[in-house]
Structures are given as structure tokens and as C-alpha cells.
Amino acid sequence: MSIYIIGEIGINHNGNIDICKQLIKIAKETGCNAVKFQKRDINLVYTKEYLDSPRESPWGKTQRDQKEGLEFDLEQYREIDEFCKSLDIDWFASAWDEKSQEFLRNFNLPHNKIASAMIISKNFLKLVASERKHTFISTGMTNIEDIDIAVDIFKKNNCPFELMHTISTYPMKDSDANLNLIKTLQKRYSCNVGYSGHESGVSISVAASALGISSLERHITLDRAMYGSDQSASLEPNGLRQLVSSVRKIESAMGNGIKTIIKEEEAIAQKLRAHI
């Protein structure tokens, strides 16, 4: 089974549909299977007091200005949907509230995604699981008991899922990666496990690909110096190209684990063992 590689655009488009399309095109050209977004109803996710508080941004002087500036509306998502179809690349999104999950039903998306922030909301998990659509479940900021509850909800609803090992720091320190947890999750839940990385560079993600992950998600950007809280933990086009190439090379190299003498070794064996 080939690793399903997801370019997480998230909010790195900065509310600009042209930047968004550039990122989708880069994801396709580098060999990603999908791009992913984040959808929020800011009036449900944030308090009025928070939204009214000051924040300087390209969109204004309040948190509301900044949050609204990062959200695409229905027409923009329709444009994204058509653009992805034209390039033959999957897209889906992680909803951060129930209204946003219902919004995503406007589109025939192949997957759902539970963001780490939402994995502790039982009502939200039940809503997503009720759709019985293959769901990626990120496990950042959780303990095993939290994951137990999420897995139980998806199993009871007969909803296909896979977990994604995640450390929710941006960027993540290499020493916090705990990649061996991938094997722990695979063994405990007898399910596919992916990796959603927030580190700088590609080495840890490449290492994860050798541990039997089913999916790999990384934030992508045009330029890590762009405005935005996720940009520093994102891959620029050349880094994404390097990552996808390395992952595909490792997939090819892993083999089936059965010891045989390959055809190309036979003549070499005859030559090197002629004296025996």
C-alpha cells in the first residue's frame, strides 16, 4: 500500500485564492495525493471578547479581522473544488466546529479529518463518524484514554478511520518526535497509522515513512517567511519535492522481507566464489 501524501495548505493561503491555487498546483506537481484545508465558523470557535481584542494583521486591527481574512466562503471553496478536479488531486478539510463540518457536505469529498484540537469533543466525533467516510484522526495534545474514546466512537459507528501520530508544536523539536509511538498505536488499535508532522525539514518525515505509516501530512507554503503562524513549520516547494521523492524511494526500497538471491547477484556470486 502506497503512503497517501497530503499537502496541508491549512490557512497558509492567507485568504488569497491565487496563492491557494499555486499551492494546489505545487502539491500536484511534486506528487502529493491530496491537499487539505481548515474550516472554521469563527463565531463558534472563538468568543466575542477574543474576536474584539486587538491584533495587527494585513486585514485590520482586531482578531476578528484576522480570522475572517483567513476564511474562504462557499464560492471560493467551489473554485477550489473545480481547480482540484481539473488537476486530478484530492482535497478535503478539517472542520473545527459542527457547522463547518456540515458546510463541507456541500462537496463530495473523499475523506474527513479530525484535527488534534477537536479529538476530545465526543459530540463532534459522533457527527463526523455518522457520515461513515474514511477519516484521518490526528492525535496531538492527547493521552491514550482520549484516543481510546475516539477509536471506540468510530468503531461503534462503523466508520473507517486511521490515526495520525501528531505532536502539536509549531515547529516541533526533533527530540519530541517519538516516532516509535507509531508502532505503539498500530499494535494497540490494530489500524492504519499515519504521521502528521510539524517539524522543520524532511528527515523525521522520511524516517516515519520507513515505519509502516499509511499516510503522511505536512504543511506547505510558497515561502516560510510569509505572514502566518503555520508558515515556519511548513515545507517550501523544493522541500516538498525532496520529501515526496524520498518517501517514494523508501517505499520502493522496503521490499517484502523475504531473503532471496536476486537475479543480478547470481553472476556476481559465481565470480566472487569461483575460488571456493
Reported as a single tens digit per residue, the pLDDT across 191-230 is: 999 999 999 999 999 999 999 999 999 999 999 999 999 9
- Name the 3-class secondary structure at 231: helix
Complete domains list, the chain, with CATH: 4-272 (3.20.20.70)
Helix ranges restricted to H, 73-121: 74-87, 98-103
Helix ranges restricted to H, 33-167: 42-45, 48-52, 63-69, 74-87, 98-103, 122-129, 144-156
Does 111 have pLDDT greater than 90?
yes
pLDDT in tens, 73-93: 999 999 999 999 999 999 999
pTM beyond 0.85: the answer is: yes
The pLDDT, as a whole number, for residue 263 is 95
Residue with cell 495520525: 164
